[in-house]
Amino acid sequence: MKKIIIYLLLIVLGLACGTPRKTSITQTSTYKHDANTIRPQFVVFHASDSISELHFKINSKEILYTRPDGIDFNSNVLISYRLLPSFDSKEIIDSASVRLVDKNNDNSDKSLLGKLNIKAAKGKNYVLRVKVTDLNRNTETLGVIAIEKEDDLNRQNFMITSNTSDAPLFRTYVKSNESVQINYKAKIGVTLYVRYYNRDFPLAAPPFSISDPKPFQYRHDSLFTIQLSDQGNVQFTAPKKGFYHFQLDTTKREGLTLFHFSDVFPEVKKADDMVAPLRFITSKQEYDELNYSTNKKAAIEKFWLNSTGNQERAKEIIRKYYNRVQDANYYFTSYLEGWKTDRGMVYLIYGSPNVIYRTLTSETWIYGEENNINSLSYSFSRVNNPFTNNDYTLERSAVFKQSWYTAVDIWREGRTYLQD
């Protein structure tokens, strides 16, 4: 069914100022992708020195439509936010709640789009706490977003829109020949300096491996300029794979970055792309044989068939494994494809954690019951990266070694570690 994009007229229920309970961590919903999980997407754009826009996108398939009047199927979603000067602050600078009520009698696959204006003054950084609640289903998703408004150079001063729908692009990657529009906050014609990087980054090391990663080399592969129109925008197409860093000031590192991984990303469809994620559960010899095989599709099928011993089970385990790869790409992509990252690696092998605690600069994943000595706990710290705000590194430890090999062995036996 063709997906429909609709813009909703939002009703602001009210502004609220008060004193929230102080907390150092926020418990969020898991990364598990199921029918009852809302996966809202957000983009922040500094429209002016006093207003920042929070653009959101919600898939209609992830919310429940009911017929309270017995006639029309309607959604009933509440979006609320609080703008704070810091993560643990009691002071609320701005807050509001809005309701999304959408009629959907034919069960269409829609993207529900909207925008909230947040009162945030230039020259400071803030923390935005967002809660999305499906009132029909009584489920919620919590989010914490950094509002970076200290200068006019960072990524939040730019808005990328699709040329096919004029809607915000809720992703940082583009495909070949996909034309997008880059919009800058100031409606003036300025020059953007574009640094192009073509890098082949290694995938994440195992959780127990104490590694010393090499620092990123900022020397670009090429540099060119593009001119914004007097309206502050320009059309752009990424001609080749790699990533493109757009800057107004080349003496700084802040800017906007667009990535081009492949034309099917975040999906995994080609046999060549299916081999690399198997490195986490294969020996070096097995991986080399898969990688250098003249028929990679047949080699992959043989690998899983040998693990499961059954054609149908092999098909099912392949589906589950690569669904996790695609979900990792969806959630964790930074300057790397999501499955290559530290969080992507843990997610791919262990699945979605039972509990996630998030601060502005960290995530803690718990597998099992909280406060249970037998539970696994992985901690990730956000990296200050000029290309992305979604780069997290794992706090590695030798204590993870046994659980890691246990999980890998389960996959190699043709079974899913933690059922999806």
Residue 124 lies in a domain: yes
Residue 359 lies in a domain: no
Measure the CA–CA gap between 366 and 30, rounded to whole angstroms: 10
Residue 163 lies in a domain: no
Residue 375 lies in a domain: no
Residue 220 lies in a domain: yes
Same domain, 81 and 197: no
Place of tokens 């089970």: 313
Same domain, 55 and 131: yes
**DSSP codes, 8-30:** ---EEEE-----PPP-S-EEE--
Residue 165 lies in a domain: no
Measure the CA–CA gap between 251 and 257, rounded to whole angstroms: 16
The CATH code of the domain that includes 183 is: 2.60.40
Same domain, 295 and 228: no
Same domain, 243 and 298: no
Same domain, 40 and 127: yes
Per residue of the chain (420 residues), give pLDDT as tens. Answer: 444 444 454 444 444 343 333 345 667 767 876 667 888 999 999 999 999 999 999 999 999 999 988 899 999 999 999 999 999 899 999 999 999 999 999 999 999 999 999 999 999 999 999 999 999 999 999 889 999 999 999 999 999 998 888 899 999 999 988 999 999 998 888 899 999 999 888 889 999 998 777 778 889 999 999 999 999 999 999 989 999 999 999 999 999 999 999 999 999 988 989 999 999 999 999 999 999 999 999 999 999 999 888 899 999 999 999 999 999 999 999 999 999 999 999 999 999 999 899 888 999 999 998 888 888 999 999 999 999 999 999 999 999 999 999 999 999 998 888 765
At which of 234, 260, 286 does a domain end? 260
Place of tokens 């492949």: 262
Neighbours of 188 (CB within 10 A): 11
At which of 260, 281, 296 does a domain end? 260
At which of 150, 184, 202 does a domain end? 150
Measure the CA–CA gap between 75 and 48, rounded to whole angstroms: 32
Same domain, 139 and 24: yes
Place of tokens 């060549």: 272
Same domain, 188 and 70: no
Same domain, 28 and 134: yes
Same domain, 23 and 127: yes
| DSSP assigned state of 60 | G
Number of domains within the chain? 3
Q: What type of residue is 102?
A: D
Could you tell me if 401 and 208 are in contact, meaning their C-beta atoms sit under 8 angstroms apart? Answer: yes
**DSSP codes, 225-292:** EEE--TTSEEEEE--SSEEEEEES-TTS---EEEEE--SSTTS--SHHHHHGGGGGGS-HHHHHHHHT
Which pTM value belongs to this model? 0.89
Show the domain range for 25: 4-150
Same domain, 71 and 96: yes
Residue 357 lies in a domain: no
Residue 216 lies in a domain: yes
Same domain, 279 and 249: no
Same domain, 247 and 315: no
The CATH code of the domain that includes 120 is: 2.60.40.10
Question: Residue 300: phi, psi to the nearest 5?
Answer: -65, -45
